[in-house]
């Protein structure tokens, strides 16, 4: 009986560990929805964040993304927005947009570079924010 229980536990772990790695990898790419967005004569490929959960997570805990230039945050209303670099491992340029008009840009360093949490705030009310990964 003990041997059967140990074998069952081993098989469960054998399945669970690889599944966990797969889940973490997919969560790092979080939102598979992407859009092409033209800004300043350049077209960016951006992940879309359009829900409260996605707004909160953003690019936190992401160390590398393939096939995209960053993330666009789409909000239903215009407000002053504040972003921070907690658990953010990428250097980012933050572009603040009121509809399609750029109202400002900020640099948001990775937590490794800043060694402290840094916040940046939109200069006026915005309903879109783009984070471009600096290379």
pLDDT at residue 47 is higher than 80: yes
Q: What is the mean pLDDT of residues 119-124?
A: 98
Cα(6)–Cα(25) distance, rounded to whole angstroms? Answer: 29
pLDDT of residue 5: 52
Cα(109)–Cα(57) distance, rounded to whole angstroms? Answer: 17
Sequence spans of domains, the chain: 1-30, 32-133
Q: What is the mean pLDDT of residues 81-85?
A: 97
pLDDT of residue 1: 67
- This prediction has a pTM of 0.76
pLDDT of residue 135: 86
Closest among 37, 108, 29 to 73, alpha carbons compared: 37
CATH architecture of 32-133: Sandwich (2.60)
pLDDT at residue 92 is higher than 70: yes
């Amino acid at each position: 009986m003990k041997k059967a229980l140990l074998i069952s536990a081993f098989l469960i772990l054998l399945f669970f560990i690889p599944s966990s790695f797969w889940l973490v990898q997919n969560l790092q790419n979080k939102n598979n929805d992407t859009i092409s967005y033209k800004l300043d004569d350049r077209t960016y490929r951006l992940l879309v964040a359009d829900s409260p959960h996605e707004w909160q997570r953003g690019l936190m805990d992401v160390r590398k993304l393939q096939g995209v230039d960053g993330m666009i945050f789409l909000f239903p209303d215009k407000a002053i927005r504040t972003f921070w670099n907690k658990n953010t491992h990428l250097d980012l340029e933050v572009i603040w947009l009121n509809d399609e008009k750029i109202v400002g840009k900020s640099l948001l360093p990775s937590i490794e570079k800043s060694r402290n949490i840094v916040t940046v705030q939109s200069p006026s009310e915005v309903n879109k924010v783009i984070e471009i990964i600096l290379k």
